[in-house]
Amino acid sequence: MATKSASRAARHNSRLHGRSRAGNTVNFLFLALMGAFMLLPMIYAVSSAFKPLDELFVFPPRFFVRRPTLDNFSDLFLLMSTSWVPFTRYLFNTVILAAVATAGNVIICSMAAYMLEKRKFPGSRVLYKSVELALMFSGAVTAIPNYLIMARLHWIDTYLALMIPAFATPIGLFLMKQFMGSVHDSLIESAKLDGAGEWRIFWRIVMPIVRPAWQTLIIFSFQSTWNMTGGTFIFSEELKTLPSALSQVLQGGIARTGVSCAVALLIMIIPIAVFITSESRVLETMGTSGIKE
Amino acid sequence: MKQKTPVAKRPHRLRREIARNVDAYLFIAPFFLIFFVFTVLPVLTSILLSFTYYNILEFPSFVGLQNYFNLFLNDDVFLLSVKNTLLIAVITGPIGYLVSFLFAWFINELSPTLRAIMVVVFYAPSISGNVYMVWSILFSGDAYGYINAFLLNLGFIFEPIQWLTDPKYMLTVVILVMLWMSLGSGFLAFVAGLQTVDRAMYEAGYVEGVKNRWQELWYITLPTMRPQLLFGAVMSITASFSAGDVTSALCGFPSTDYAAHTMINHLNDYGNIRFEMGYACAIATLLFFMMIGCNQVIQKLLRKIGT
């Protein structure tokens, strides 16, 4: 193990040829500055969630909270505890939905991407082009045809209507296919000579190599499924998701300004947490991702 | 080696090709079944609906190219929205794309721990959804809006500027906020792509006389990153052409004199408020073809990298 980590360190250092110390410092300072700028609105959102009501409405507005309080959060839980369907049910719904949809999306898109990238067969080019084009159509006008299809399938008011379309996203296939190109064909050929089937090659060889790609896709996919409200497809209250329940809380109007700041923070914190965990996993495997041949 | 099998000319050869690739079809079947039912079918329906008058209640009636004639001949607001959309796309698209790549590359130069932190910091705004609303406080039109207060204190201006309601400034503010938000999916794909570049390539590069990080970027990193660059380009195009949420959140809907009205705003106006679905579909179809055209041009440009 020691030799492995040593070689990993060596590989990392050797990559930094031709780097001047001054350049590195300037680079870091620049990024730190820009990073602070990017974070400003986030900090504002966090700070607002802890503001008491009078500070939220104070004029002129303040950036930072003066007397932080958890009132907004306790108000939110009070509101949610009086709701007809318990809060935990909404949470459970969203977690299940996001987990299943994300897993399905990654696997189904990767399978299709692998074949489209590595094999030429009748129709493969046309199919791929259609996916690339689909990325550019505005989703706003497809709502009605989509509803009609769901109704025809009797999927209205079931999770199938939310999960199944989320399995096959054009962006997922496009992303995975672009990365699959970096897997050398010779690797696949030699695995075939060793008698490995396509599924084994896909699962044991290709997927580990394109790990950064599907880690990225997990983030995209989780981010979009976590924010799913159920829209026009879900009517039963006990099937509704966390975002739709929280948006109902906000219907209370201006009196719930404090609560809405708490909601905004809660809704964004989970995807960011998922993102951070997946990023730290990227770190772990960084050393092995250089292995190609 | 990739095998290039020419598309069979005679039917029985085609059948043999298909039979030989049965496993490939099985691999792609789950994706394309779902994709056709829930993406291709609705998109084709929408394009067909663009040739009809459809108010959602009654069955659509065919009107030929009437919707398109109306868009170009009778709808000044639409033409304005095309102008705004193009202006936003031309500025935020390329700049956002370059900025995404540069930041991903700068971040990649850092040590692994710092890199992970920076990636989170820079991508967080894209995850957080509606946080860009904070900008409406920064750009608030009275003397207490942060930016107005700052400029007033420094003496650059003598009375507060109505950033979000004065047609002179609205589009600029929208473009600034969209640039701030542009580190999105493309950025993340670049970060991941930079990690898959083969380390041995850099070694070989330095043996052959690459001297600094800039040469390394142009001769080694960029050519190997072409697939991710293409992905980022398509993402930039879709994001910049479908601007609409930001404009309505910041400048209101409709905005003063339609000065920040985009094609997506116009589409939502007709689709969700006036229930003229045929007309809305015509707008979506036009936007679709604008993006396709733009994509063609950019793919041609990207082929020239590193040559």
Task: Say yes or no: A135 contacts chain B, CB-CB below 8 A.
Answer: yes
Q: Which of B24, B56, B125 is opposite residue A41, by nearest beta carbon? A: B125
In a domain, A48, yes or no: no
Q: Is A262 on the interface with B (CB under 8 A)?
A: no
Residue A231 domain boundaries? 70-290
CA distance A53 to A64: 14
- Domain B74-302 annotated CATH 1.10.3720.10: yes
**What count of residues does chain A have?**
293
Residues B96, B178: Cα–Cα separation, whole Å? 8
> What are the angstrom distances between the C-alpha of A141 and each of B46, B203, B268?
7, 51, 9
CATH code, domain with A225: 1.10.3720.10
In a domain, residue A8? The reply is: no
- When comparing pLDDT for A15 and A93, which is higher? A93
Helix A160-167 with A87-118: angle, nearest 10 deg: 30
A138 with B287: Cβ contact below 8 A: yes
Instruction: State the pLDDT at residue A18.
Output: 65
Domain locations along chain B: 74-302
CA B192 to chain centre: 19
Cβ contact (<8 Å) for B27 and A268?
no
Residues in chain A with CB shorter than 8 Å from the CB of B129 are: 227, 267-268
Distances (CA, A) of B5 to A116, A190, B176: 14, 21, 49
User: Under a CB-based contact definition with an 8 Å cutoff, are residues A123 and B14 in contact?
Assistant: no
Of A132, A133, A181, the CB nearest to B227: A181
The number of folded domains in chain A is 1
pLDDT mean across residues, chain B: 85
Interface test with A, best of B39, B176, B237 (most A CBs within 10 A): B39
Which residues of chain A neighbour B203 with C-beta distances below 8 Å?
14
Structure tokens at B298: 């950019």
Distance between CA atoms of residues B241 and B258, nearest Å: 17
Does A282 lie at the interface with B, CB-CB under 8 angstroms? yes
Q: Nearest residue on chain A to B200, judged by CA atoms?
A: A290
Distance of CA B228 to the CA centre of its chain: 15
The pair phi, psi for residue B61, each rounded to 5°, is -115, 140
How many Å lie between the alpha carbon of B28 and the closest alpha carbon of chain A? 4
Separation in Å, CA of B73 to nearest CA in chain A: 22
CB B134 within 8 Å of CB A44: yes
| Integer angstrom CA distances of residue A120 from A187, A203, A207, B4, B20 | 17, 20, 20, 7, 11
What mean pLDDT is predicted for residues A104-130? 92
CB-based contact A18 B206, cutoff 8 Å = yes
Of A149, A170, A268, the CB nearest to B128: A268
- B267–A141 C-beta distance less than 8 A: yes
Closest CB from A12, A38, A122 relative to B14: A122
The DSSP annotation for A104-164 comes to HHHHHHHHHHHHHHH---TTHHHHHHHHHHHTTS-GGGGHHHHHHHHHHTT-TTSTHHHHH
User: DSSP letter string over B200-243?
Assistant: HHHHHHHHTT--SHHHHIIIIIHHHTHHHHHHHHHHHHHHHHT-
- Collapsed DSSP state (helix, strand, coil) of residue B4: coil
Beta strands in chain A (DSSP E): none
Classify residue A40: in a domain, yes or no. no
- The per-residue pLDDT of chain A, averaged, comes to 81
Asked, for residue A143, whether it belongs to a domain, the answer is yes
* 190-209 in chain B: CB under 8 A from chain A: 191-193, 195-196, 198-200, 202-203, 206
pLDDT tier, A9 (very low <50, low <70, confident <90, very high otherwise): very low
Contacts of B205 (CB under 8 A, 6+ apart): B216, B219, B220
pLDDT class of A6 with cuts at 50, 70, 90 = very low
Report the distance separating Cα A33 and Cα A23, nearest Å.
15
CA dihedral (B141, B144, B150, B151) positive or negative: positive
Report whether B221 contacts B105 (CB < 8 A).
yes
Instruction: Say how far residue B96 (Cα) sits from the centre of its chain.
Output: 10
Assess B109–A contact: CB distance below 8 Å, yes or no: yes
Looking at the domain assignment, is residue A14 inside a domain? Answer: no
**pLDDT tens for residues A163-205?**
999 999 999 999 999 889 888 888 899 988 988 888 999 998 8
For chain B positions 30-59, those within 8 Å of chain A (CB to CB) are: 30-35, 37-43, 45-46, 49, 56
Report if residue A27 sits inside a domain.
no
A118 in a structural domain? yes
Any chain B CB within 8 A of the CB of A9? no
Reply yes or no on whether the pLDDT at B34 is more than 90: yes
Q: B94-152, pLDDT tens digit by residue?
A: 999 999 999 998 888 888 788 888 888 888 877 776 666 677 777 877 777 778 888 88
Contact B166, B121 (CB under 8 A): no
Q: Is residue A263 part of a domain?
A: yes
Q: Is B293 on the interface with A (CB under 8 A)?
A: no
Nearest CA-CA distance, residue A218 and chain B, Å: 12
**Least confident interval from A13-27, A67-81, B279-293:** A13-27
Place of tokens 């601007």: B243
